[in-house]
């Protein structure tokens, strides 16, 4: 027995069982001092090391190297490297010959060398160095191989990159119809681990377990089925199927990767389902709010001489009732009165305040039958004494027939802090009616108020609106009231309803505040 085998640890019996005399190295008693010294160093090293000795590169290795070659051990011990590694010999054979030929050491980093070490040809990566071992007279007797397996590190890195791409691809997903395509495209670069990736609804894939990851070996290869169950109402259950890499064992690491793909996708499904549920609720609330708001308003007054069209739009991002309102009515003396206003706030209280102010205005107008300025002053005093305790803008206008009916109407109005009205003349010219502004209602109850008059000829239109039509949160997106002039200029042939629609087509897509709109058209 050779004493050096005593350092072989758990491999000692294997070393002693090899018929060394039948190998290219001969009996241990004939081994050179260089081989014995090199073997002693190899067996006493905890890093994976192997000796490839002689012209046939006979293998001698330590315990740490066994894990790298797995099922090739113990038959590899004492055998020529070409017989042990036929699947990679076209790569490593020339490298060994180069080192043994005296051309210097070789260093390879993260080199892919697929090994048949666990019953199948397995994807493997190694970093290794081949160095010559010289004996007496500098003669190269063998090659020492110091190796580190990089397989797990490389595969883990690429799987993390795949998960990152998947998470990024699903981050802005807002419709589950696009889910299968997003997942497939995101995982396409990871085809070495997951190929032919498909996502289907479980309802469309009968007979599949919904609870757990399953891996099946089929004639087409190894297939994985990953349920994607998310808590949503209604439940959104999907199934991800993919073909796995035949050159990798479906071990705990592979299964963990599949579960992470599943959980990343399921989280996106839950997020989208929740978002869609919120949108459905928001749409319902919006519809209910709009219905409630409109129920607090009244249909426009009917006057054979005048067309009146009204519109109310809630904010695009809100589902609250608010304080924007419009009104029109005919006083006992036949005077057509039109009002538009905006109560501060965007909630049920604002809506209640709006209804109270509108009703007060109507009652005062019917009672006092005075010019608009007097009606607004009386309304201001009534609010101070009776409530509501809020501030509001109101524009109140009265239309009277001109002395000559063919001349149209005379418009008399008073403005309590409201955006100025716009007059569209029969010529197509549009202009703002901008007298000196006066305080809001509820600000100073004793503030003096004035009336203003302008002719409203036949074929002219008057546009009244609340500030939500042109104001946005970002100041750079605000539209000056003059911007409305460009929209309605040369639209004098439009009816009141058509002009309302034209204005809302231009301003109404991304409203950030409620909007009330009234168009009064003096018919020809």
Domain definitions of the chain by residue range: 3-149, 154-276, 297-522
CB 150 within 8 Å of CB 125: yes
The CATH number of 154-276 is: 3.30.450.40
- Strands 221-230 vs 194-201: parallel, antiparallel or unpaired: unpaired
The CATH architecture of the domain made up of 3-149 is 2-Layer Sandwich (3.30)
Q: Does domain 297-522 have CATH number 3.40.50.720?
A: no
114: Cα separation from own chain's centroid: 39
Whether the domain at 3-149 and the domain at 154-276 fall into the same CATH topology: yes
Residues in the chain where the model's pLDDT stays below 70: 1-2, 203-211, 230-236, 281-296, 315-322, 346-348, 403, 405, 473-479, 508-510
249: Cα separation from own chain's centroid: 34
Rounded distance, CA 84 to CA 142, Å? Answer: 17
The secondary structure of 79-144 as a DSSP string is SBHHHH-TTTHHHHHHHHHHHHTTS--EEEEEEE--EE-SSSEE--EEEEEEEEEE-GGG-EEEEE
481-508 burial: b if 16+ Cβ within 10 Å, else e: beebbebbbeebebebeebbbebbeebb
CB 328 within 8 Å of CB 337: yes
CA 54, 56, 58: angle at the middle one, nearest 5? 70
**Structure confidence at residue 319 (pLDDT):** 47
DSSP summary character for residue 230: E
Q: How does pLDDT run across 27-47, given as a tens digit for each residue?
A: 999 999 999 999 999 999 999
Closest residue by Cα to residue 418 from 357, 370, 497, 368: 357
Residues in the chain, how many?
524
């Amino acid at each position: 027995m050779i004493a050096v085998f005593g350092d072989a640890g758990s491999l000692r019996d294997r070393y002693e069982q090899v018929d060394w005399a039948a190998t290219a190295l001969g009996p241990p008693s004939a081994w050179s001092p260089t081989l014995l010294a090199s073997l002693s160093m190899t067996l006493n090293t905890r890093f994976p090391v192997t000796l490839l000795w002689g012209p046939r590169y006979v293998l001698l290795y330590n315990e740490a190297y066994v894990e790298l070659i797995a099922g090739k051990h113990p038959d590899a011990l004492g055998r020529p490297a070409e017989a042990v590694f036929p699947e990679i010999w076209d790569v490593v054979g020339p490298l060994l010959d180069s080192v043994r030929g005296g051309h210097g050491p070789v260093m390879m980093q993260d080199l892919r060398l697929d090994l048949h070490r666990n019953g199948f040809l397995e994807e493997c990566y190694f970093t290794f160095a081949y160095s010559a071992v010289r004996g007496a007279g500098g003669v190269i007797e063998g090659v020492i191989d110091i190796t580190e397996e990089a397989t797990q590190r490389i595969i883990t890195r690429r799987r993390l990159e795949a998960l990152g791409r998947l998470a990024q691809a699903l981050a802005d997903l807002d419709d589950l119809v696009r889910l299968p395509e997003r997942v497939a495209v995101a995982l396409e670069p990871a085809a070495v681990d997951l190929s032919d990736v498909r996502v289907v609804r479980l309802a469309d894939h009968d007979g599949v377990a919904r609870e757990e990851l399953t891996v099946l070996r089929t004639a087409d290869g190894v297939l994985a089925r990953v349920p994607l169950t998310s808590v949503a109402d209604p439940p959104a259950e999907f199934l991800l199927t993919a073909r796995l890499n035949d050159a990798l064992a479906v071990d705990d690491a592979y299964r963990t990767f599949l579960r992470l793909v599943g959980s990343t996708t399921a989280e996106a499904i839950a997020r989208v389902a929740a978002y869609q549920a919120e949108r459905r609720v928001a749409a319902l609330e919006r519809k209910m709010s709009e219905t409630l708001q409109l129920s607090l308003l009244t249909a426009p007054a009917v006057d054979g001489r005048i067309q009146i069209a009204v519109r109310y739009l809630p904010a695009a991002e809100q589902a609250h009732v608010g304080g924007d309102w419009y009104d029109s009515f005919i006083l006992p003396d036949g005077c057509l009165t039109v009002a538009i206003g905006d109560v501060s706030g965007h909630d049920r209280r604002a809506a209640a305040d709006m209804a109270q102010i509108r009703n007060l205005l109507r009652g005062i107008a019917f009672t006092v039958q005075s010019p608009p300025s007097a009606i607004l002053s009386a309304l201001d005093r009534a609010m101070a004494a009776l409530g509501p305790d809020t501030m509001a803008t109101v524009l109140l206008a009265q239309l009277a027939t001109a002395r000559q009916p063919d001349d149209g109407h005379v418009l008399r109005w008073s403005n309590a802090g409201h955006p100025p009205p716009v007059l569209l003349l029969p010529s197509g010219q549009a202009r703002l009616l901008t007298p000196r502004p006066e305080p809001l209602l509820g600000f100073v109850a004793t503030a003096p108020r004035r009336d203003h008059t302008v002719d409203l000829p036949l074929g002219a239109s008057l546009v009244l609106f609340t500030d939500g039509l042109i104001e946005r949160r970002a100041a750079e997106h605000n539209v000056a009231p003059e911007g409305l002039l460009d929209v309605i200029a040369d639209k004098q042939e439009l009816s009141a309803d058509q002009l309302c629609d034209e204005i809302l087509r231009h301003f109404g897509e991304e409203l950030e505040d409620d909007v009330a709109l009234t168009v009064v058209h003096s018919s020809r």
